[in-house]
Amino acid sequence: DAKTTQPPSMDCAEGRAANLPCNHSTISGNEYVYWYRQIHSQGPQYIIHGLKNNETNEMASLIITEDRKSSTLILPHATLRDTAVYYCIVRVADNYGQNFVFGPGTRLSVLP
């Protein structure tokens, strides 16, 4: 079973920041938070991951609370192409045999 909970859907205006929340209250100390997204009829695309510090890359920022029980993915300037299902996943980074357990994710709709 997925260890995360996310809202099923969100809307965001084009050009505005999209803030996608994720709860992972049972996260273990050695589990990372990963974010992937899936655009319709494509494979999941890696966005970002982190352990406890906030992370930023060219796609997004990841804010993890101090107690690590929740996190927020931020797309700073959402575009129509960011419309997708966003998955928040927790897993141990160096567990070779562990797959990614996908929950239902959040369906983000970026509106013009």
Partner 1 sequence: GAVVSQHPSRVICKSGTSVKIECRSLDFQATTMFWYRQFPKQSLMLMATSNEGSKATYEQGVEKDKFLINHASLTLSTLTVTSAHPEDSSFYICSARHRNSYGYTFGSGTRLTVV
Give the binding site for partner 1 (CB under 8 A): 36, 38, 41-46, 87, 93-94, 96-97, 99-105
When the beta carbons of 17 and 39 are compared against partner 1, the nearer one is 39
Least distance in angstroms from the C-beta of 9 to partner 1: 12
When the beta carbons of 41 and 53 are compared against partner 1, the nearer one is 41
DSSP conformation class of 62: E
When the beta carbons of 38 and 109 are compared against partner 1, the nearer one is 38
Least distance in angstroms from the C-beta of 80 to partner 1: 20
When the beta carbons of 25 and 100 are compared against partner 1, the nearer one is 100
Which amino acid makes up residue 99? N
Least distance in angstroms from the C-beta of 73 to partner 1: 17
Two tokens, residue 87: 């998955």
Task: Answer for the pair 106, 85: CB distance below 8 angstroms, yes or no.
Answer: yes
Least distance in angstroms from the C-beta of 42 to partner 1: 6
Number of H helices, E strands in the chain: 0, 9
Nearest to 60 by CA among 76, 72, 71: 76
Nearest to 37 by CA among 28, 46, 26: 46
